[in-house]
């Protein structure tokens, strides 16, 4: 976790320096604010990871002599045949289209999102397909 925190913090600092350089050379607001947002996207999780890395045991990536097999384990959030991640993605698509085409697409996005969340939670509680 410490390596990830340092990596994200360095990226955030890089974007912060570039944002300051951009502000003093172009005086353009939109690009400066986007670069500040990018810096915050690196600094906020990076700082959080660094803060937690001192309170947790070292992860496999933090140990210099770790093997690849040390980090092996079961990684499974959804079964391979689950439809719910697809429906959640479709809900995000329709939510984005709501900003483009109008509020008439919002009920479709809400219905898809609710069904995806309810179906995914039900499937994860039962341990199989719903």
pLDDT digit string, tens, across residues 9-66 = 999 999 999 999 999 999 888 999 999 999 999 999 999 999 988 888 777 767 778 7
Tokens, residue 26: 């172009």
> CB atoms < 10 A from the CB of 34, how many?
13
Rounded Cα–Cα distance for residues 123 and 46 (Å): 33
C-alpha 97: how far from chain center: 21
* Residues 23, 28: Cα–Cα separation, whole Å: 6
pLDDT at 79: 57
pLDDT in tens, 80-119: 678 889 999 999 999 999 999 999 999 999 999 999 999 9
Provide the token pair at 25.
């050379």
Q: Is the pLDDT of residue 130 over 80?
A: no
């Amino acid at each position: 976790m410490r390596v990830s925190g340092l990596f994200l913090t360095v990226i955030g600092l890089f974007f912060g320096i570039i944002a300051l350089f951009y502000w003093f050379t172009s005086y353009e607001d939109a690009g400066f604010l986007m670069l500040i947002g990018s810096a915050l996207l690196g600094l906020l999780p990076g700082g959080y990871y660094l803060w937690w890395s001192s309170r947790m045991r070292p992860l496999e990536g933090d140990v210099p002599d770790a093997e690849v097999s040390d980090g092996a384990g079961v990684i499974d959030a959804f079964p391979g045949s689950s439809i719910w991640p697809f429906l959640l993605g479709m809900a995000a698509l329709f939510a984005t289209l709501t900003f483009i085409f109008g509020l008439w697409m919002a009920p479709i996005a809400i219905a898809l999102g609710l069904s995806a969340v309810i179906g995914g939670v039900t499937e994860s509680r039962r341990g199989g397909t719903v």
